[in-house]
Structure 1
Amino acid sequence: MKDLFNVKLRLLTATLLSIGLLHASPGFANGVDTPATQASVNTGTTLYNGISTDYGASFVGIPYAAAPVDALRWQPPQPAVIGSEFDATVAGAACPQIASPYGVGSENEDCLSLNVYKPKPRQGKNAQQKLPVVVWMHGGSLTSGVSSLYDPVKLVKRNLVVVTINYRLGALGYLSHPALAAETEAGNSGNYGLMDQQAALRWVRDNIAAFGGDPDNVTLSGQSAGGYSVLANLVSPASAGLFHKAIVQSGVYTLEEPTQQQWEVAGSALAVAMGCEDQSAECLRNLEVATILENQGSIATQYPIVVDGATIPQQITNAISTGEFHHMPVMNGSTSDEFSLYVAALNELVGNPVTEENYLQSIIGAGIPEVIAPLAQAEYPVSDYASPGLALTALGTDAAFACNAQAMSFWLAAFVPTYAYEFADPDPAPLLPPISFPYGAYHGSDVQYIMQTPNSLIAEKSKPQKALEHQMLSYWASFARHGNPNVNLAPYWFRFKTSLPVMQSLKPWLAYPTLNFHQKHHCEFWYGFAES
């Protein structure tokens, strides 16, 4: 099974995933519906003063680790010193990232904060019962994104406690370097952003009960690079016991993580580019944040999770396909037109639309190896689609996401209860300007159905879309509560099994099981290029 699905196509992952979290501007989500009064929670060590909302209360900008500055830069996260009282009414800063049309610029390293959103207290016999907890990790290629973009009011209204987190990004979050490795007992470097996520989960374990959450019923969820981070935490020994269910939305499924030693070569080259010819940790820690951000792209377009033998002991796909991960129920899925954002951002919106004449070159430009590109062109002829852009969208969606998501579901289902889905709303609220063909269910379009995001406010959802939103929220809430998405009166969602790979199709008005995902997305074609 492993060999069959280990597809070796490496598309422009960094570009794709940064597109997946274009919604990156600060200060959107404080969880505040209307101006309201103060709400307070006492954890026993700190009194957190937040804001009372129409649905409950929000507590934002809570430090879960000390600011990773000076001597703590490129160190595992250390405990935060907060004091006896904390003002949790202002969202924390985004972690350092380059300003772009797709992200928020920030040079503030004091960014390791989280936000807690809780519903109103319940009445009656269940008033003291702790609620399921959902921890959300944003996407953005591990180089951009911020938690304050996601207002989880829709989930909170389903009687869930929701936590959204920031974590270190780019070189500051994922640099490996020999000088940094020499400082640690295990000799590892890199994966600092992943360690931040684990520190946030430990904060949840230790404090969430005071906010009404159940520390023994935590679902870790994320989209795009956030979904990839969920998979990494499933594999990491340091995440053991910190969460109990997992939701992966359009994650990265076949990325080959470099070894720490391989990535240290890139880290050493980056040190030289930034002026640290002596390769010392002291020089690296004295660099201005702006210098790091300006130079990190000169060495690599993405800063990956690495196999360091400690935080990540082996390739993520190897671990999952052989059952060497934390066993728990998993929900895993993708959207039906993931790649349309890529075609828009790198073709349509920059004056280079896909045409019949440049179709083959556009396939290669999308990251398909030249030896495979002509075969892919024949598999996805322009004549089968309404436009060349739609043809490339279908090709890229299948190669980069759909078939790899299905492969991950096969691996997971061999060991744990797995629920697979495809989000297929043909007309969600847009994220980018109009192009010559419909975006369809683009990468990240499913998020607006479970979270309030900036683009979800662009247009009122239609009645069928509202029905889909209600259905999805019911599924997500039930999964967080029970590890099973099925609820009363909902279309039944069958488990994905290796012998019966059924997916749940999520469309306006209708959610239903389907067995034709494999054929629809040409997966037999793409699996044919698997490594043997």
Structure 2
Amino acid sequence: MKRAPRRGLAGPLATLAVALLALSGCTGGGESADGVVSPSQRATPEAYDVADDPGPEPSPAASRAPTVTIEQGALSGVAGPASNAYLGIPYAAPPVGDLRWHAPEPAAGWAGTRDASTPGPHCPQAPNTDSEGSLEEDCLYLNVHTPAEPASESLPVLVFLHGGGHAYGTPNIYSGHDMAATGGAVVVIPAFRVGLLGFFGTAGTAAESEVGAQGNWGMLDQQQALRWVADNIAAFGGDPDNVTIVGESAGGSSVCFQLASPMAAGLFHRAIIQSSGCGGMATESAAPRFAAEWGCEESDLACLREVPIGTIVDSAMGNGFAGPTVGGPDQPVDPLTAAASGTVAEVPVIIGVTRDEWVGPESWRYPLDPDTYREAVTEEYGDGAAQILERYPADAGPDPMFSLGWLRGDAMFACPAIVSADALADAGRDVYVYEFADRTAPGSGGSFTPPDLDLGATHTSELPYLFGYTSIERPLDATQRQLADTMIATWVSFAAHGVPTVPDDVAWPQFHQAREVLVLQGEAAGGLQTITDFEATHHCDLWR
């Protein structure tokens, strides 16, 4: 049985979830009065480089630097033809010295007007596809994108949480220009601690703080950013009582965390989870073994806080060494358990995946020998391998690499997303499920991927359509921009009202009603449509 090479079905694998998030931005849009921005208004990837982008001819709004006054002081931002940006705003005190491995504290104010034309630094991380690397611990800044002209009423706010396997990532390769360009929304994109700076709990941190045993500092940073939004976003034209958190890959996992965190209660009102399920959080921190490597007792915080930042960053690279831990007041139980007990946040949720999630990350294996593929699956799954190989034969696509990518995408993304959707719906939450299926989307495989290899709708490929993701260098063409306009209009309608309104009167029912999934694709591929065979296509009976 061949799986027709739709040049992007989906494909992941449950037991390799630790390998999942590094290659993507998780390494890993615009509208008008009716929710759609014309292609001429849309930003190219370069439009977010404020130093280099000449932009279109200045509008009256662009002839001056926009200013705004928040609780901390006055800000001078960057004017654009359709949106303004305020970059590098501190939302928490620098997490250095005694604040390393400590819950974030509010940022200090300033006198005069602060220049908000330059993004803040990346948080400490090794070089990766989204960052050249950083050793700068003073990194808790955020970027705000607003319409160029004030709206007549407060706008919905979207807070985007980047991916990167909880080990990498930066807000500075994303933009909210397109969502803000027509006055549809205010977009906030924060940095937060990642890697061993973001997830590190020892006896020392436990003795110092009630949240210290788990050490979910990066997740607490996100909550501090949301508190900053509650206190300040009205000054930018945003509605502090209408905040949607959006995250992709590890950022989607972060959204799951916040849905289950009592400490995040009331900080947001809707949630969008892109390319992630809500299960699989650790029960204990990996920090003690690193403390020993650095010559410190795990109870000796003074020693740990003196470890050079370069040593910390160099100690752990790749995937699987960092991530949130359950068991403390910030995350008493994992999100699926919270859903089962009814304690998950009472907000509507959109959750979805890309059709070919893990084809891009597996493309370094291309070409993959068929026997090598079958041997790897057999070694991984033992007695279950025969059934898996029947569903994912080596010749299902142009190369066995595609079969491996589809297998792993289904196991790690597509089917966990359905499990999460069911859990949230069973808890009484309104849930909408989508699949991004643009087979022509600019893909993220890496420098090792042959440029003519069609990866389909792989991991992170939806991000240029929504958040101006610049790590994928190929810009959207006119047809893709039209789909991006539709996606942005849909996301913003959900942020505004809690119910997604799809342009062209396409119905998107709640998932529990008929297990319908909205397929996001261009007109040439059939246009937007709902399907009921998502679970069969992705073989979810194997992965539940």
Q: TM-score, normalised by structure 2?
A: 0.87
Q: 2:419 aligns with which of 407, 416, 427?
A: 407
The one-letter code of the counterpart of 1:342 is P
- 1:323 partnered with 2:337: no
- 1:47 partnered with 2:52: no
- Segment drifting more, 423-432 vs 375-384: 375-384
User: What is the aligned partner in structure 1 of residue 535 from structure 2?
Assistant: 518
Q: 1:333 aligns with which of 352, 366, 372?
A: 352
* SS of aligned partner of 1:133: strand
Q: Give 5+ residue unaligned stretches, structure 2.
A: 1-11, 29-44
C-alpha distance after superposition, 1:296-327 (max 9, x if no partner): 349x8321101132100012221123332111
The one-letter code of the counterpart of 2:16 is L
User: What is the aligned partner in structure 1 of residue 160 from structure 2?
Assistant: 136
User: What is the aligned partner in structure 1 of residue 465 from structure 2?
Assistant: 449
C-alpha distance after superposition, 1:446-472 (max 9, x if no partner): 111112122565244142x23322221
Q: Give 5+ residue unaligned stretches, structure 1.
A: 1-6, 528-532
In 2: Cα distance, 1:322 partner to 1:119 partner? 40
The one-letter code of the counterpart of 2:267 is L
Q: 2:201 aligns with which of 171, 176, 195?
A: 176
In 1: Cα distance, 2:244 partner to 2:48 partner? 24
User: What is the aligned partner in structure 2 of residue 469 from structure 1?
Assistant: 484
Q: Does the Cα contact within 8 Å between 1:188 and 1:310 map onto a contact in 2?
A: no
- Segment drifting more, 382-391 vs 336-345: 382-391
Q: Report how far residue 252 of structure 1 moved.
A: 4.0
Q: Does the Cα contact within 8 Å between 2:142 and 2:171 map onto a contact in 1?
A: yes
5 Å-filtered alignment, 1:208-227, equals 208-227=233-252
Q: Does the Cα contact within 8 Å between 2:353 and 2:435 map onto a contact in 1?
A: yes
Change (3 A) 1:521 1:487: closer
In 2: Cα distance, 1:282 partner to 1:219 partner? 38
The one-letter code of the counterpart of 1:60 is L
C-alpha distance after superposition, 1:202-252 (max 9, x if no partner): 000000001100000000001000010001000001111100000100024
C-alpha distance after superposition, 1:326-376 (max 9, x if no partner): 11111100000001122113x13xxxx3221111234368xx444433431
- 1:150 partnered with 2:168: no
Identity across matched positions, percent: 35
* SS of aligned partner of 1:372: helix
Q: Report how far residue 390 of structure 1 moved.
A: 1.8
- Segment drifting more, 466-475 vs 138-147: 466-475
In 2: Cα distance, 1:27 partner to 1:12 partner? 34
Q: 1:363 aligns with which of 377, 380, 395?
A: 377
Change (3 A) 1:196 1:472: same
In 2: Cα distance, 1:279 partner to 1:18 partner? 34
User: What is the aligned partner in structure 1 of residue 442 from structure 2?
Assistant: 429
In 2: Cα distance, 1:410 partner to 1:30 partner? 43
- Segment drifting more, 442-451 vs 40-49: 40-49
* SS of aligned partner of 1:360: helix
Change (3 A) 1:99 1:456: closer
Change (3 A) 1:436 1:52: closer
The one-letter code of the counterpart of 2:296 is C
The one-letter code of the counterpart of 1:293 is V
In 2: Cα distance, 1:33 partner to 1:202 partner? 34
User: What is the aligned partner in structure 2 of residue 72 from structure 1?
Assistant: 99
User: What is the aligned partner in structure 1 of residue 302 from structure 2?
Assistant: 282
- 1:507 partnered with 2:534: no
Change (3 A) 1:430 1:383: closer
Change (3 A) 1:86 1:429: same
- 1:388 partnered with 2:404: no
Change (3 A) 1:215 1:33: farther
Change (3 A) 1:324 1:51: same
- 1:63 partnered with 2:90: yes
* SS of aligned partner of 2:125: coil
Q: Report how far residue 488 of structure 1 moved.
A: 5.5
Change (3 A) 1:44 1:171: closer
Q: Report how far residue 8 of structure 1 moved.
A: 9.7
User: What is the aligned partner in structure 2 of residue 115 from structure 1?
Assistant: 143
User: What is the aligned partner in structure 1 of residue 500 from structure 2?
Assistant: 485
Q: Does the Cα contact within 8 Å between 1:29 and 1:148 map onto a contact in 2?
A: no
Q: Report how far residue 253 of structure 1 moved.
A: 3.2
Change (3 A) 1:488 1:102: closer
Change (3 A) 1:490 1:16: same
User: What is the aligned partner in structure 2 of residue 438 from structure 1?
Assistant: 454
The one-letter code of the counterpart of 1:331 is I
Q: Report how far residue 45 of structure 1 moved.
A: 4.4
Q: Report how far residue 14 of structure 1 moved.
A: 3.8
The one-letter code of the counterpart of 2:494 is F
Q: Report how far residue 186 of structure 1 moved.
A: 6.0
In 2: Cα distance, 1:405 partner to 1:164 partner? 24
C-alpha distance after superposition, 1:383-425 (max 9, x if no partner): 4433212211221111111111111111112211111000001
What is the alpha-carbon root mean square deviation over aligned residues?
A: 2.5
Change (3 A) 1:52 1:102: closer
Q: How many pairs does the alignment contain? A: 501
Q: Does the Cα contact within 8 Å between 1:22 and 1:103 map onto a contact in 2?
A: no
- Segment drifting more, 174-183 vs 478-487: 478-487
In 2: Cα distance, 1:363 partner to 1:462 partner? 40
The one-letter code of the counterpart of 2:154 is K
- 1:373 partnered with 2:401: no
The one-letter code of the counterpart of 2:18 is T
Q: Report how far residue 524 of structure 1 moved.
A: 1.3
C-alpha distance after superposition, 1:125-180 (max 9, x if no partner): xx441111000010000110000100121111242000000000011110110111
Change (3 A) 1:526 1:44: closer
The one-letter code of the counterpart of 1:449 is Y
In 1: Cα distance, 2:303 partner to 2:511 partner? 51
User: What is the aligned partner in structure 1 of residue 123 from structure 2?
Assistant: 95
Q: TM-score, normalised by structure 1?
A: 0.88
In 2: Cα distance, 1:487 partner to 1:12 partner? 32
In 1: Cα distance, 2:195 partner to 2:510 partner? 36
In 1: Cα distance, 2:383 partner to 2:338 partner? 29
In 1: Cα distance, 2:223 partner to 2:100 partner? 17
In 1: Cα distance, 2:452 partner to 2:181 partner? 38
User: What is the aligned partner in structure 2 of residue 417 from structure 1?
Assistant: 430
Change (3 A) 1:322 1:279: closer
Which of the pair has the greater relative contact order for Cα pairs under 8 Å at 6+ separation?
A: 2
